[in-house]
């Protein structure tokens, strides 16, 4: 029996029953937001695929089973740690601005549900580059499970049913094809089967012809036709010209671990390492995680890291990134004025930036195989369900990633709008991202694979997981469950997850001069810990959303 047929059989009947959030294995491990996608990844490992084969299969499957963020119409970053003597690499498949895009595209305002917000998708080229560089199985075998799930359908979870009902009844959702594909007569309920035959056809084309089956030929023509019909910017030439890029990751150290993360055009790696370097100047574990003094300390590092992000980071093919940003000396300089008793005012960090008074959805998954190869992948449509446009006849949702560029050049506001030059729209440019796929290693072996969705909060969600592991020695479940906070320079406030004791924490932080906001949840940090002594893999799916962890 061919491998793809065996894999298809293994995932032919996804279980509706709740999948475990925790798993251990001496072999491979997959943790993702979508239980069917997790099952696919493990099935790929069982038939001889490696971590990249599994990661690519999970990504294509989530395009079917997690339509709000899983995609072939968006983009992202895949961090691969091969193990042994091979160096880690990042596959950059971030979307690009179409050739006709201008810097002033959004200066008069932005409609997040407009097709003009769609950048040139990168996911398919990125997955192909990763597979060509590291994969073991045949390309068609890796796509086979996603094709089957799109064609035959899968039972939706209660969470997905609720999100489909919400998005299809929202008055801002107006694209007829989106509503045809995802709206149900009556309401979606857990157990209802979602079939996507047009998406299955597109995936079959990709399985047969590789990424060219998406960027040229009939699928590309359908994308171009949708652009012409709806006023979008992407042309056939834009699609044909798109290339995924293999980049060197950002690498640094923290508390005896090597930290490996995504480089620009992701801001994740540099901002994460910069915050960690600032925290390394302090005794973080002097107070428990969640204590007011700890949250103040971490928020001040976040504040300064995000100010540097705004000043300097963008697509490295268009912007010169200062090489000193993640050095210890720079971190010490930035943190020299830290006051343990008083919040810094964000405006004092603006430098030459003039300040005026002027719900992203991504998904992350982690994979480790039995040989020790580790893959951390974060990819996105930007907002939940992207721009809420389905390409007619092709079955997939388009991103609204163009909104990640700075909307108004030269205008940075106290409400959080950034207008610095580094991330202004230009044809062919990749928009700045906060995605932060991250791997920690010790003595040359991967020990933590992590990441998260959540827009700008992504970096700080990963920061919290890393600090809990590295400073407090927390196990991966405790690190993933730990309460999260976020500070992004502007707005000048800390956001905190609503947990028992919030009122007391709020009072203590306000006494230090912080403004606060309360959120229900932050991020979705599906992570894997690999014990450096025994090699045992422990998967922890974040309980804040759907998800599952499963061992080989």
Q: Which domains are present in the chain? A: 249-347+434-544 (1.10.246.130)
Instruction: Give yes or no for a contact between 258 and 450, defined as CB atoms under 8 angstroms apart.
Output: no
User: Degrees (nearest 5) of the Cα angle 293, 296, 299?
Assistant: 150
Q: What is the SS3 assignment for 246?
A: strand
| pLDDT beneath 50: ranges in the chain | 1-4, 6, 9-18, 359
Handedness of CA 175, 181, 183, 188 (dihedral sign): negative
Instruction: Give the pLDDT of residue 360.
Output: 56
Q: CA angle at residue 346 from 345 to 347, to 5 degrees?
A: 95
Residue 4, token pair as written in the block = 């793809």
Is 550 in contact with 42 (CB distance < 8 Å)? yes
Alpha helices (H) along 18-122: 35-46, 51-65
Q: For residue 1, what pLDDT is reported?
A: 36
Q: How far apart are CA 286 and CA 307, in angstroms?
A: 26
User: Which residues are CB-neighbours of 473 under 8 A, at least 6 positions away?
Assistant: none
Are 465 and 456 a contacting pair, CB within 8 Å?
Answer: no
Q: Rounded to the nearest 5°, which phi and psi values hold at 89?
A: -135, 160
H or E element at residue 297: helix 292-312
* The pLDDT value given to residue 13: 40
pLDDT given for residue 15 in this prediction: 41
438: its two tokens? 């991250």
From the list 1, 6, 7, the residue with the least C-alpha distance to 146 is 7
CB 261 within 8 A of CB 326: no
How many other C-beta atoms are found inside a 10 Å radius of the C-beta of residue 184? 14
**Gap between the Cα atoms of 53 and 18, Å rounded:** 25
pLDDT of residue 84: 86
What positions carry a catalytic annotation?
362
């Amino acid at each position: 029996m061919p491998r793809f047929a065996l894999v298809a059989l293994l995932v032919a009947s996804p279980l509706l029953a709740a999948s475990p959030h925790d798993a251990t294995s001496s072999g491979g491990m997959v943790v993702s937001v979508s239980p069917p996608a997790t099952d696919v990844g493990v099935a790929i490992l069982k038939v001889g695929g490696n971590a990249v084969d599994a990661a690519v299969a999970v990504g294509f499957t989530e395009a079917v089973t997690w339509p709000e963020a899983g995609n072939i119409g968006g983009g992202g970053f895949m961090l691969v740690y091969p193990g042994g003597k091979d160096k880690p690499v990042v596959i950059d498949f971030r979307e690009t601005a179409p050739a006709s895009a201008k810097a002033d595209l959004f200066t008069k305002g932005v409609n997040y549900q407009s097709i003009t917000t769609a950048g040139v998708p990168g996911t398919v080229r990125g997955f192909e580059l990763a597979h060509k560089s590291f994969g073991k199985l045949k390309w068609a075998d890796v796509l086979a499970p996603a094709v089957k799930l799109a064609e035959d359908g899968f039972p939706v979870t209660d969470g997905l049913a609720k999100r489909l009902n919400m998005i299809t009844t929202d008055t801002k959702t107006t694209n007829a094809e989106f509503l045809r594909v995802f709206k149900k007569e009556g309401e979606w309920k857990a157990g209802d089967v979602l079939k996507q035959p047009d998406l299955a056809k597109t995936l079959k084309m990709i399985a047969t012809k590789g990424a060219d089956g998406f960027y040229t030929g009939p699928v590309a023509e359908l994308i171009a036709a949708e652009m012409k019909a709806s006023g979008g910017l992407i042309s056939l030439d834009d699609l044909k010209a798109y290339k995924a890029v293999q980049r060197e990751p950002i690498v640094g150290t923290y508390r005896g671990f090597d930290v490996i993360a995504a480089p620009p055009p992701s801001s994740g790696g540099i901002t994460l390492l910069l915050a960690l370097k600032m925290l390394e100047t302090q005794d973080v574990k002097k107070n428990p995680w969640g204590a007011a003094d700890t949250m103040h300390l971490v928020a001040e590092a976040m504040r300064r890291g995000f100010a540097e992000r705004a000043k300097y980071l963008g697509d490295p093919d268009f912007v010169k990134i200062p090489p000193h940003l993640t050095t210890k000396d720079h971190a010490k300089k930035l943190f020299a004025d830290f006051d343990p008793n008083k919040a810094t005012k964000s405006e004092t960090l603006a430098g030459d930036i003039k300040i005026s008074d002027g719900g992203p959805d991504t998904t992350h998954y982690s994979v480790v195989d039995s040989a020790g190869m580790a893959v951390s992948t974060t990819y996105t449509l930007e907002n939940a369900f992207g721009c809420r446009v389905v390409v007619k006849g092709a079955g997939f949702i388009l991103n609204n990633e163009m909104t990640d560029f700075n909307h108004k050049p030269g205008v940075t506001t106290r409400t959080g709008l950034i207008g610095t030059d580094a991330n202004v729209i230009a044809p062919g440019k990749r928009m700045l991202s906060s995605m932060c796929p991250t791997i920690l290693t010790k003595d040359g072996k991967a020990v933590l694979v992590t990441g998260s969705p959540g827009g700008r909060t992504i970096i700080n969600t990963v920061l919290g997981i890393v600090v809990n592991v590295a400073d407090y020695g927390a196990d991966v479940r405790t690190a993933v469950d730990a309460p999260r906070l976020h500070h992004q320079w502007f707005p000048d406030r800390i956001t905190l997850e609503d947990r028992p004791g919030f009122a007391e924490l709020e009072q203590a932080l306000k006494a230090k001069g912080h403004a606060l906001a309360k959120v229900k949840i932050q991020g979705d940090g599906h992570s894997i810990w690999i014990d450096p002594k025994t090699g045992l893999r422990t998967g922890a799916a974040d309980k804040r959303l759907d998800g599952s962890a499963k061992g080989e």
